[in-house]
Chains A and B, each alone.
Chain A
Amino acid sequence: MRLRNSLYIILILTLFLAPMVVSMASDTWTIGAAPLSQRAGTTQGTAMDTSGIKGKDTLGEICSVYGIQKADLLTALGVTTDLPDSAKASDLEAIFAEQGRTWSMDVLRRAVASLIAH
């Protein structure tokens, strides 16, 4: 490979990778991801898009953003244990496991969507 080609490849790869390396080194790569209120998407002021709900989101945040009651959400999920607002969505996995049910984030997303629809 010609030296000129090699230099071109190295230069362009460096330009592409340098911001990524700096970002990863400074720990800003994905930290600061948009909060749920921004991931939710709104239609006429009402949060509608549930696909952005993640395991790290708390039940309090979810209920607040989508305008639903925590008790209704837990009922819709078939969860009888009362959980604090600070419980994360991913914490539901353990409860589902205790009940012998299969957990996935889509179960929660669908439950929230059905509550919004009503």
Chain B
Amino acid sequence: MIHQQAGKRPKAQKARLWIGAIFFVWATVAGISHFLTEKGITLPFRTASIDAICPFGALETLYAYLSSGTLIGKIHPSNLVMGLGLTLATLAGGAFFCGWICPFGTLQEWAGKLGRHMLGRRYNHMISQRVDRALQYLRYVVALFFLAWTWAASSLVFAQYDPWRAFLSLAGGEIAVGGIIALAISLVGSLFVERFWCRYLCPMGAVTGLVGKISIFKPRRNAATCISCSACTNACPFHIDVEHVTRVTSAQCNRCLECVDACPVKDTLTIGS
């Protein structure tokens, strides 16, 4: 049964944008408040360091925590707590964090809306699929490089190259040149390619993507009722070939549910175990 209404944004996408916006506001307020507090501006509430509300910090301190029971500099118990939540969520639902929660992902999507407005149909189709696929491996290199460096140095080296931290530091924190360059590349890149940072460079996306491959819940296609209209593949921001698989196991899938929403046949593309 065909159920899609043309031109109407599916409710799942509305929910995703709202949830993303809420986490964006929370993380931004917390980060900026902390910088203001460090500058001596008294606020009616206390906020943790921006580094304390990043689940990637759990991975960064993992070696020190397991080997000596200590946390590396700037890492708090909150990082481990968020890391636990992220692990549970990813094992159950894949890289949901990336598609629904990550504030930097949300920021890139907003940049992408501007890019779509500027470029029309050329948006997200300016790089050949072969080059796109090859570049997607870069984030594994980035992840391995920074985890090895962090574990060896026992300090938060990624902070100097973190585009999200650089974005918040524009409000008054210490400016890291590497982070500002990463931020500029990510936002300018996102004008042309959907979620440029997530797609090619994000070390945490590399990890959640790999763990997501073995997650319980994935988008599943019912081949018996599929009409092979390609709507799902065309809707996927990461160009995953959804219409030719029965389970979406790609490490790039961030569970945005664009494919599920695009499917015109009821109960053909669903989230399932």
A5-B271 in contact (CB<8A): yes
Counting CB contacts under 8 A, is A83 at the interface? no
Name which of B83-91, B115-123, B129-137 contacts chain A. Answer: B83-91
Instruction: Name A20's contact: one of B81, B93, B271 (CB within 8 Å).
Output: B81
Interface residues of B in 152-195 (CB under 8 A from A): 153-155, 174
Tell me whether chain A's interface is mostly helix, strand or loop, or mixed.
helix
Residues of chain B with a CB closer than 8 A to A105's CB: 38
User: Are the C-beta atoms of A49 and B82 separated by less than 8 Å?
Assistant: no
Supposing A34-B73, A55-B38, A105-B38 touch, asked if A41 and B153 sit within 8 A by C-beta, the answer is yes
Tell whether, in the assembled complex, residue B93 and residue A38 are in contact, meaning their CB atoms are under 8 Å apart: no
Query: Which residues of B have CB within 8 Å of A72?
Result: none
Q: Per-residue 0/1 for A15-41: is the Cβ within 8 Å of any B Cβ (1 yes, 0 no)?
A: 111111001000011111110001111
Interface flag for B96 (CB, 8 Å): yes
B9-17, B221-229, B233-241 - interface stretch: B9-17
B27 contacts partner chain A, Cβ-Cβ < 8 Å: no
Give the Cβ gap from B143 to chain A, nearest Cβ, in Å: 20
A104 at the binding interface (Cβ < 8 Å): yes
A11 to B94, CA, bound (A): 12
A19, B82: Cβ atoms closer than 8 Å: yes
Which chain B residues (33-60) contact chain A, with CB distance < 8 Å? Answer: 38-40, 48-49, 52
Choose among B72, B77, B154 the residue that contacts A29 (Cβ–Cβ < 8 A): B77
Is B62 interfacial (CB-CB < 8 Å)?
A: no
Interface centre among B39, B40, B71, B272 (most CB of A within 10 A): B40
CB-defined contacts of A31 to chain B, threshold 8 Å: 77
Q: Is the CB of B15 within 8 A of A52?
A: no
Closest to A12 in B: B93
Q: Is B76 an interface residue (CB 8 A)?
A: yes
Contacting B at CB under 8 A, from A66-101, are 90, 93
Instruction: Please encode chain B, from 82 to 117, with 1 for each CB lying within 8 Å of some chain A CB and 0 for all others.
Output: 101110110011001100110000000000000000
Beyond A19-B88, A52-B73: 7 further Cβ-contacts under 8 Å?
A5-B260, A8-B271, A9-B100, A30-B48, A30-B78, A34-B75, A104-B38
Q: Can you spell out 27 A-B residue pairs with CB atoms less than 8 angstroms apart?
A: A1-B12, A5-B260, A9-B19, A11-B93, A11-B217, A12-B89, A13-B89, A13-B100, A15-B93, A17-B85, A19-B81, A19-B85, A20-B85, A23-B81, A30-B52, A33-B71, A33-B77, A34-B72, A38-B71, A49-B73, A49-B155, A51-B174, A52-B73, A52-B74, A55-B38, A104-B38, A106-B174
A residues near B, CB below 8 A? 1-2, 4-5, 8-9, 11-13, 15-20, 23, 28-34, 38-41, 49, 51-52, 55, 90, 93, 103-106
Which B residues are within 8 Å of any A CB, using their own CB?
10-12, 15, 19, 38-40, 48-49, 52, 70-78, 81-82, 84-86, 88-89, 92-93, 96-97, 100-101, 153-155, 174, 217, 255, 257, 260, 270-272
